[in-house]
Amino acid sequence: MVRRSRFYLLLSLLLLLLSACAPRTQGVADLERYAQTAAAYLDGVAADAALLAPGVQQNLDDDFDRRFFAPWHQQGATLGAQEAFWGLTSYGKRQGFAENLQPLSAERWEDLVASLNQDAYPSLARPAISVRNTALRIFPTARPFFLDPKLPGEGYPFDYFQNSALWVGTPVLVTHVSADGAWYFVEAGLASGWLPALDLAWTDEDFRRDYETGRYAVLLRDDLSLHDEQGDFLVRTHIGAVFPLLEQSPEELRLLIPLRTVDGRAQARSVRVPVQDAAPKPLPLTPRRIAAIADAMAGQLYGWGGLYENRDCSAFLRDLFTPFGVWLPRNSGAQAQTGTFVDLQDLSPAAKKAALQDSGIPFYSLVWLRGHTALYLGVDPRSGEPLLLHNLWAARTHDWRGREGRALIGRLAVTSLHPGEERRDVRRNGFLERILGVTLLPGVEGKSSEH
């Protein structure tokens, strides 16, 4: 009996020791340590100071409009077949996994390739407009393509056929049609890809003239339901969408929304939106107004490539700066090259942190890691730590055997440069070491260096 008691005592001590050595499984402390609103980090009087001269911002806004409507002024496709069908090269030799997380069969891949109708590309050059919030896809299918779900950072939600969300009211040029006619390949100002045929409407010259007015409005909150003047529901859409502005009063704005008629043509319908939900573009570019738009998206769930109308890191930043007329590309690498890039790649972690504080403009600088980007908020007055606002999937972890994993965040969050490092399974300075540079957004001057 005594021997058995000793055995259980030794077993209990061993289990206690193993549990002490094992990685802790709690979440990321930064989410509790720091206020999760951008407005919490505004700096007094500077919060209302314009970040750009009015003329500079107006030039940026004019450039935004030009890029937004550019597809309607193209004569034809600007992408060659190799660019349009890049998914063939990127994924054709890789084992993909289907929605049941089982290997994608060779037969299914062959069907996908056939659906591209490659030999006929480009088969169209027809201007259109999105009439729903939709998705630009790499292949003409809504079904996902995952890489090995057993690997960290793969599987759901990383559907590699998802290129970008496309909000309602986005001008596009249709340049190709799928083999079955159910999908169109489009070029939009921000990206290209396949979308369902019913998610767009054809625009004639009269529609485009009446829609491209030069005076536009933006939304101030997400998930906004828009109704026509008879009260009928038209669409539910988000920050980052842009619509023609017809009239403005102290109480409301009157906007144009595109609809699809039964024969596929675009038709504009007017809606009235309260001033608390929409405003003329561009908004005054101040830290306080940027924080207000950011906080209207606070806590939003992560959406790879705009999956489920959520946002990933670069989509958040693009939509954040759209109301201010600042055009950002769709992916993080291209965003890093928009403005003045300050190279931090070869610096030590401490030097990177110091350089960010020295060079970064709070609320108007991006911090770039390969495959990720974030908004620099400035320095937390309590901890002295530089803070970031970013839509972040996870912090990288490693267990005691060296196996990689993820500590999930999965939403728009305020973090330090050390997210998750209070955990034993997150490497010290792992995030900071991956930072490659800081980008001062367009219109401001700063020191520039090559990548």
Same domain, 205 and 351: no
Residue 243 in this model has a pLDDT that exceeds 70:
yes
User: 293 with 408, same domain?
Assistant: yes
Query: What is the rounded average pLDDT for all residues in the chain?
Result: 93
Residue 23 belongs to a domain: no
* pLDDT value, residue 26: 57
pTM over 0.85: yes
Which band of pLDDT confidence, cut at 50, 70 and 90, is reported for residue 448? Answer: very low
Do 43 and 69 fall within a single domain? no
Residues 81 and 101 placed together within one structural domain of the fold: yes
- Among 5-14, 46-55, 149-158, 185-194, the minimum mean pLDDT is found in 5-14
Answer whether residue 392 shows pLDDT above 80: yes
pLDDT tens sequence across 325-380: 999 999 999 999 999 999 999 999 999 999 999 999 999 999 999 999 999 999 99
Q: What pLDDT does residue 214 have? A: 97
Crossing angle of the two packed helices 287-295 and 313-321, in degrees rounded to 10: 130
Structure tokens at 75: 């004569």
Residue in this structure with the two tokens 């942190």, named with its chain if needed: 353
- Do 180 and 83 have their domain in common? yes
Determine phi and psi for 78, rounding to 5 degrees.
Answer: -100, -10
Cα 277 from Cα 418, distance rounded (Å): 35
- Evaluate whether residue 227 is within a structural domain: no
Residues 34 and 109 in one domain: no
375 and 429 both lie in a single domain: yes
Does 196 share its domain with 310?
no
> Which pLDDT belongs to residue 444?
87
Query: What is the predicted pLDDT for the residue at 144?
Result: 98
Residue 186 lies in a domain: yes
Dist. CA 269–CA 232, nearest whole Å: 11
The last residue of a domain, from among 197, 230, 263: 263
- Where among 263, 297, 325 does a domain terminate? 263
Are residue 290 and residue 192 in the same domain, yes or no? Answer: no
Are 65 and 204 in the same domain? yes
Tokens matching residue 360: 């970064």
Specify if 222 maps to a domain: no
Number of domains, the chain: 2
Containing structural domain, residue 46 = 30-52+285-440
Say whether both 44 and 123 belong to one domain.
no
Element of type H or E holding 274: strand 266-274
Using DSSP's 3-state secondary structure scheme, residue 183 falls into strand
8-18 pLDDT tens trace = 444 344 333 33
pLDDT attached to residue 31: 97
Residue 136 within any structural domain of the chain: yes
| Same domain flag for 186 and 312 | no
The residues near 142 (Cβ < 8 Å, ≥ 6 apart) are 135, 196
Give just the sign of the alpha carbon dihedral 45, 47, 48, 49: positive
Position 14 in a domain: no
Domain-embedded: residue 240: no
The string over 345-355, giving b where at least 16 C-beta atoms fall within 10 Å of a residue's C-beta and e elsewhere, is eebebeebbeb
Average the pLDDT over 181-208 and give the result.
Answer: 98
Encoded tokens for 340: 């003045």
Q: Are 339 and 319 in contact (CB under 8 A)?
A: no
What is the CATH number for 47? 3.90.1720.10
5 occurs within a structural domain: no
